[in-house]
Structure 1
Amino acid sequence: MSSETMDAAPQLVPLNAIFSTDFVEILVPVTTANTMNEVAGAVAEHVEGKRVRAQPYPKVVIHKGRKVPGDMTVAEAGFAPLDHVTVEYDTSGAPS
């Protein structure tokens, strides 16, 4: 990433998102500076505890079939406006 890109002010990137088992796709405004943890929280805010039961697990963003690291920003992940993401509960550390 060039220093020119890193020095730029955060840009709005609206994302199409589905949270866990929800059936409604929502449009969530995030910025290029938001981390995946923040994106997951922004998506969950509209759904968790409303249409989807809240669970005690961390959330992960999935884009084009890959889990995106929680500390990666929208810019670093290369998300474009209106890209589709899914937010799921990460139950990999849950007891079996």
Structure 2
Amino acid sequence: MSESVTDAAEPQLVPVNAIFHTDFVQILVPVTTADTIAEVAEKVAYHVEGRRVHKQDAPKVVFHGGRRLDPRLTVADAGIGPLDHVRVEYDV
């Protein structure tokens, strides 16, 4: 059975390996291809801020493949695939 055009546009689950700056635990975080990089940063931060990392009042940035990602990009646009590694840091 072939996929329809609307099915192909549906957001897909993309589990990513993530680490938050200064944390010592790498975590597996479920994101979707439609999530923005800003949303990815918040999803990663949710698991560590106030638990193992002191929450700061600063914007967060995401790095993938050694490059800083534009927060407006989607996961799909940034080329992030399943089990890729991302790093989240405070932009200070």
* TM superposition score normalised by structure 2: 0.91
CA distance in 1, matches of 2:45, 2:30: 13
Deviation readout 1:10-36 (Å, 9 max, x if unpaired)? 000000000110000000000000000
Secondary structure of the residue aligned to 1:27 is strand
> Given the alignment of the two structures, is residue 56 of structure 1 paired with residue 57 of structure 2, yes or no?
yes
Q: CA RMSD in A?
A: 1.4
Following TM superposition, the consecutive aligned residue runs of length 4 or more in structure 1 with deviations greater than 3 angstroms are: none
Q: Identity, % of aligned pairs?
A: 65
Q: How many residues align?
A: 87
Give 2:15's aligned residue: 14
Unaligned runs of 5+ in 2: none
CA distance in 1, matches of 2:90, 2:19: 12
Report matched runs for 1:23-34 at 5 Å.
Answer: 23-34=24-35
* TM superposition score normalised by structure 1: 0.87
Secondary structure of the residue aligned to 2:56 is coil
Unaligned runs of 5+ in 1: 92-96
CA distance in 2, matches of 1:74, 1:60: 14
Deviation readout 1:69-88 (Å, 9 max, x if unpaired)? 00100000011100000000
